[in-house]
Structure 1
Amino acid sequence: MPLLDTPVRLGVQLQPQHAPYSSFRDAVLRLEEMGVDILFNWDHFFPLSGDPDGLHFESWTMLAAWAEQTERVEFGALVNCNSYRNPDLQADMARTIDHISAKDGVGRFIFATGSGWFARDYEEYGYEFGTAGSRLDDLAAGLERIEARWQKLNPAPTRDIPVMIGGAGEQKTLRLVARHADIWHSYVRGTDLSHKLEVIERWADREQRDTSNLVISNELHQRDEAHADGLYDAGVRLFTIGFQGPDWDYDLIRSWLRWRDTKNA
């Protein structure tokens, strides 16, 4: 661990704020044509930057539209909030979007999830905020229910839907990564990744789960190629970058696509 013989992939997170929906529709089309590997949004109800009451759209309904609109890219939320929806419902929604996106019988949806953190979402939409620990406990129980529900749904998902878990807490989050994840996403610096991966391995031993195929994901926002090279050397193979509209900086994405292609040459 980590999985080093997989190609480098670039994921772009379209931040679903401060732009009309038509702008997102156009950006999705253009980014897929440019060769981006994965498209993400986020699962919040209000902007995270800029005008706190500015334009904003909901994650899952947007993802269902992307499932129909796109042909090649994988996609998901970076990340879904477990607190906002019944876990069995999340499983069913994921399965349905998986089928909507299927090309040649195989879906492209990634179930990326986390425990939640943005208090305003909870307070204004009537969810219990709890504590960081209680939200992680809820995520642990939710993942068990989600995976069990996938085994019961008719029709079943088109594939084993990849599970992506975000976060770096060593006592709870990384244990969930070891137990459930196909992809681990964090903002951990390259110099600290080896320690975190050792923690995941220790938890994997306790969970009796093989994590040799775990894909390591990290963030490129406000980072240069030297930093990305360090992450690559530490084992990162999925690189994500936040993307803000409506004045999309496509040259930024082109530069990272060139870097990706150099790594994969």
Structure 2
Amino acid sequence: MPDFSTDIPVRLGVQLAPQHHASYAVIRDAVARLEDMGVDVLFDWDHFYPLSGDPDGTHFEGWSLLAAWAEQTERVEFGALVNCNSYRNADLQADMARTIDHISKKGGETGRFIFGTGSGWFERDYDEYGYEFGTAGSRLDALAAGLARIEARWPRLNPAPTRDIPILIGGKGEQKTLRLVARHADYWHSFVSPEELPHKLDVIARHAEKEQRDTADLVISNELKSRTEGDADALFDAGVRLFTLGVSGPDIDFGAVQRWLAWRDAKNG
């Protein structure tokens, strides 16, 4: 297998699907409880409508929540899984990320924001909010252009970000998405199976060679929902070190989070 970042602790991220079908109070209380439980990373998503249940149910905007989490939390890292590049000017995204990064510093040496991003896919978001949906290819091309602008904007901001803000890119397309991973990402997130991972990692490594990028620091991320401990063990053996768990609300199964925290701790020995 190509050289990727496996000599690091296993971490658990929780994506708060209560962003839909729940009050803000439920979201705020869940964030506090999950940080107290020892979760490593908290994620929301960047959609304008629920993705399951009542399509017109309650829902809150993702970047506004991230700014609130930056102020509310003290230790946990956080970000979107994932931001939609299509919805905001790229330089504005850079400025928003930098601002949230500073809000989250909270007395530490650096901020805790992870810039998770992708090209977008949920057509209703585009149609209802007046964005051009385009094609999967055109959205990926826009993401490529946007990431270059974002990385160029960060050092020009005053003040600059507190750290090199880590970039997480989601997706598995081999021609465009994984090339962007090789070029820009600190984290690669997907839902691919343990059997698929070696091939996908080889594709990233081949892209990285062309990009003259060392992938030794790339952290592999994958989803736990609906998977067994045996599945997670296989993902670990394939190189995954950030495991994410989507939880639904408003009645969150904190017991499931606790079980996966125990699995994480056992892996870290």
| TM band (smaller chain) | over 0.9
What residue in structure 1 maps to residue 197 of structure 2? 193
Partner residue of 1:158 out of 158, 162, 178: 162
Does residue 137 in structure 1 map to residue 141 in structure 2? Answer: yes
Q: CA deviation at 1:105?
A: 3.2
Does residue 91 in structure 1 map to residue 94 in structure 2? Answer: yes
Alignment of 1:49-60 (within 5 A): 49-60=52-63
Q: CA deviation at 1:133?
A: 0.1
Point out where structure 2 has 5 or more consecutive residues left out of the alignment: none
What residue in structure 2 maps to residue 30 of structure 1? 33
Provide the secondary structure at the position in 2 that maps to 1:212: helix
Partner residue of 2:244 out of 228, 240, 252: 240
What residue in structure 1 maps to residue 172 of structure 2? 168
Distance 1:48 1:64 in 2: 22
What residue in structure 1 maps to residue 67 of structure 2? 64
Partner residue of 2:6 out of 4, 7, 14: 4
**Corresponding pairs, count:** 265
Identical aligned residues as a percent: 74
Partner residue of 1:178 out of 169, 175, 182: 182
Distance 1:223 1:138 in 2: 33
Q: Partner letter of residue 82 of structure 1?
A: N
- Render the CA deviation track for 1:14-49: whole Å, top value 9, x for unaligned: 011000000000000000000000000000000000
Does residue 74 in structure 1 map to residue 77 in structure 2? Answer: yes
Provide the TM-score with structure 1 as the length reference. 0.99
Q: CA deviation at 1:245?
A: 1.2
What residue in structure 1 maps to residue 257 of structure 2? 253
Point out where structure 1 has 5 or more consecutive residues left out of the alignment: none
Provide the secondary structure at the position in 1 that maps to 2:158: coil
Alignment of 1:36-51 (within 5 A): 36-51=39-54
Q: CA deviation at 1:211?
A: 0.9
Provide the secondary structure at the position in 1 that maps to 2:221: strand
Q: Partner letter of residue 169 of structure 1?
A: G
RMSD over aligned Cα, in angstroms? 0.5
Partner residue of 2:233 out of 226, 229, 233: 229
Does residue 215 in structure 1 map to residue 209 in structure 2? Answer: no
Q: CA deviation at 1:244?
A: 1.0
